[in-house]
A and B are shown apart, each in its own frame.
Chain A
Amino acid sequence: DIQMTQSPSSLSASVGDRVTITCQASQDISNYLNWYQQKPGKAPKLLIYDASNLETGVPSRFSGSGSGTDFTFTISSLQPEDIATYYCQQYDNLPPRYTFGQGTKLEIK
């Protein structure tokens, strides 16, 4: 089974900071990687799909990059409304299978 290692597990940053989260797969997953944002009491929200594509309606300060085993998620200028937990997720289609990273809890300094 593919394992996803996400880091850091928590992060404190100031408004306007550039924030970076990484995710490493235990084997090559090409670009089959998504990034989600989850706010307390809410379902997750898709931000980035296929490693680097911005979901419709998501602000352009969010971006993703990488392929193979190493992936990066970036917020270019942190805003107060970005406080949430962020997850990477690898996916397979046959059989349908997902693996989530452990999550990164982002807080304002």
Chain B
Amino acid sequence: EVQLVESGGGLVQPGRSLRLSCAASGFTFDDYAMHWVRQAPGKGLEWVSGISWNSGSIGYADSVKGRFTISRDNAKNSLYLQMNSLRAEDTALYYCANPTSDYWGQGTLVTVSS
């Protein structure tokens, strides 16, 4: 059974940093590109960032470019998102996912507020 378990969310002040983690199991992690997708409360889905299987190709949404960094450790079956200079508009539920394979975690909530 595929499992993606996110962690690291919480309440953080504007301008501070947070690192999200995602532990994967039940599939061959290093065969797949992985992504972070977020959903602000009551809003739609927004793709945040994606990374190829070997970390050789990385993409970011314009809204997070220069502030967020995606990475992965295939030896640990783990995906990460380093979020710096957080803003109120980054408040959302963050999903670790491979959407085209229909692999989704349960999400971890990030709240940016003073």
Q: List the interface of chain A (C-beta within 8 A of B).
A: 1, 34, 36, 38, 43-46, 49, 55, 85, 87, 89, 91-103
Contact = CB atoms under 8 A, between A and B. Distances in A.
Given A96-B52, A97-B50, A98-B37, A45 B59 contact: no
Given A1-B62, A103-B45, A98 B99 contact: yes
B58 interface: yes
A96 B102 contact: no
Contacts, number: 64
A29 to B, nearest CB: 14
Contacts of B107: 43
B57 interface: yes
Contacts of A55: 102
- Interface range on chain B: under 10, 10 to 19, 20 to 34, or 35 or more? 20 to 34
A100 B104 contact: no
B25 to A, nearest CB: 16
